[in-house]
Amino acid sequence: MKQVKVISPGLFTSVQDEGRKGFAHWGIPTAGAMDRGSLHRVNALLGNPNHAAVLETTFVGPLLEFEAATAIAICGAQAMVQLNGQEVPQNQRINVTAGDQVRIGKSEAGVRSYLGVEGGFLTDTLLGSRSWTRGLTNSFRLQKGELLSIGNATEKKKTNRTIEATPLDNLAFEVLPGPEFSWLSPEQQEQLFSQSYRLTTSSNRMAFSFTADPILPHSEVVFLTSPVLPGIVQWYPNGQLVLLHRDAQRTGGYPRILIFDNHALDQIAQLKIDQAFQLKKP
Amino acid sequence: MGKGNHIQLKSLGPAAILIEWPARIDEHINAEVLAVQQMLFDTDDPGIVECIPAYHSLLVEFDTSIVAKEKLEEQLLSMIASIAVKARKGKHWEIPVRYDGEDFKELCALKKLSPSEFIQLHSAPDYRVFFLGFLPGFLYLGGLDARLHTPRRAAPRTSVPKGAVAIGGQQTGIYPQNSPGGWQLIGHTDFEWFDKAADPPSRITAGDTIKFLPIR
């Protein structure tokens, strides 16, 4: 089987695909690429099925050595991508030969890059998915020296065209009201949609917490643990808001006031900590 | 969205419907939730992606390229109207527990109970497994004696050991793996029920009952 060697793992790199489906009632998170749009772009460029596994990088990408010829593509965050030290473009198919080294540098715009290979990464499958999930799969981040198996080219027609880059400049996210949206008073709803937010440094694959003026509940809220899905925004007793992302638990003990749809989840996965954003009134 | 008696359907985005019963921890309500979940599983519809129960609600996620939302809503309303809660024979589990958790003594003092009184109150009931959530295999158990209800800790621990038996609010549960956690730790068990490589991954399922057996 063809392999890729990890010379340097990058800040936080993991194998991701479309995630696990049908196991949430056992307490198992969905997982999968945080920016699904970029996952699909990469796989489309390589003639892979949508669910083929890719590497998801965070801020600083890895240095990889390809032990056999294949083709790669990188979509998502804008970063310096080098093939044997020479810059190569993103958003298009790039051929590599045995011994070639590919480096994804620091992200300049956006946060997460997606590196796909022809035939996809063929690492272990657990509960229907190759996605690495902390606390569930044996691996959760790429390690130096690791060898990753990859597949072979499919019969699909290949393209060498460059596709449109992932838009990375959205700072106003469309949201829907959550089941407990009406628990907010009109004044609190006004604050929700008029104020500016930033992500905190504790944001990760499970959840993003927003920093802003807290929206304090008027009285002690009694909320029984209820089912949630990625995209739910929880309202904490201290007035903070937390957006559940792909690795989030599937039940939660806080009121669900907003819902980000898949597209908004993709977009916010590319938002940097210093970028102020707003929530669009539905 | 429809109303069937006291049961409501709510939309959770374009590919998810939430079914809500009246909000309380109630065995009969939970039995209805699990009955609808089972009805959905029995349809074997490839368009149904997830059916996640909790105390009094069920989240149904579906594939919009296979299932039309309006059709699914109709189907759910008709299932709700025909809920026949079969006396499903849930499995009964006896789980040995050593009551030596980090917060055990503190809780005894807080409740003004001797250790043996506390142990008696915690180990007497047959707890119903209402649902699994929070972590892979984490069991939400109902039936905790009101005298043992204790709020979660003000500051969660960064690491709770695997097998920790704990109390959080009105609930008691067991941590299936090492994890951060804010519940009060009262004991420990070596009993294992979750195996990610097994099918299904958990031997214990919603609707089962659990009894804790104190051991030294």
Q: For residue range B165-188, list pLDDT tens digits in order.
A: 999 988 899 999 998 888 999 999
Q: Which of B11, B25, B200 sits opposite A224 (nearest CB)?
A: B25
Q: Which comes out higher in pLDDT, residue A237 or A16? A: A16
State the average pLDDT over residues A38-52: 96
Q: Which residues of B touch A180 (CB under 8 A)?
A: none
Q: B1: pLDDT confidence band, cut at 50, 70 and 90?
A: very low
Report how far apart, in Å, the C-alpha atoms of A9 and of each of A5, A105, A122, B95 are.
10, 11, 18, 42
Q: For residue range A59-84, list pLDDT tens digits in order.
A: 999 999 999 999 999 999 999 999 99
Separation of alpha carbons A203 and B152, rounded Å = 23
pTM here is 0.93
Interface predicted TM-score (ipTM): 0.93
Residues 114-133 of chain B with CB under 8 A from chain A are 131-133
Average pLDDT, chain A: 95
> How deeply is A81 buried, as exposed, middle or buried, from its count of CB atoms within 10 A (0-12, 13-18, 19+)?
buried
Query: Any CB–CB contact under 8 A between B140 and chain A?
Result: yes
Q: For residue range B23-82, list pLDDT tens digits in order.
A: 998 999 999 999 999 999 999 999 999 999 999 999 999 999 999 999 999 999 999 998
| pLDDT number for residue B87 | 58
Separation of alpha carbons A220 and A217, rounded Å = 7
Q: For residue range A193-209, list pLDDT tens digits in order.
A: 999 999 998 889 999 99
Query: Any CB–CB contact under 8 A between B58 and chain A?
Result: yes
Within a 10 A sphere around the Cβ of B26, how many other Cβ atoms? 16
- Please tell me whether residue A35 adopts helix, strand or coil conformation: coil
State the average pLDDT over residues A42-53: 96
End-to-end CA distance of chain B: 54
8 Å CB contact of A226 and B55: yes
| Residue A241: closest CA among A270, A277, A282 | A277
Helices B69-81, B27-43: axis angle to 10 degrees equals: 130
8 Å CB contact of A27 and B136: yes
The torsion angles phi and psi of A65, rounded to 5 degrees, stand at: -120, 125
Q: Which of B12, B24, B57 sits opposite A259 (nearest CB)?
A: B12
Report the range of poorest mean pLDDT among A50-59, B1-10, B62-71. Answer: B1-10
- Residue carrying the six token digits 């190759």: A130
| pLDDT number for residue A158 | 75
Q: For residue range A265-279, list pLDDT tens digits in order.
A: 999 999 999 899 999
Give the contacts of B10 (CB within 8 A, at least 6 positions apart).
A179, B1, B17, B18, B20
Interface test mutation site (partner B, options A30, A136, A221, A225, max chain B beta carbons within 10 A): A225
| Residue A229: closest CA among A248, A207, A209 | A248
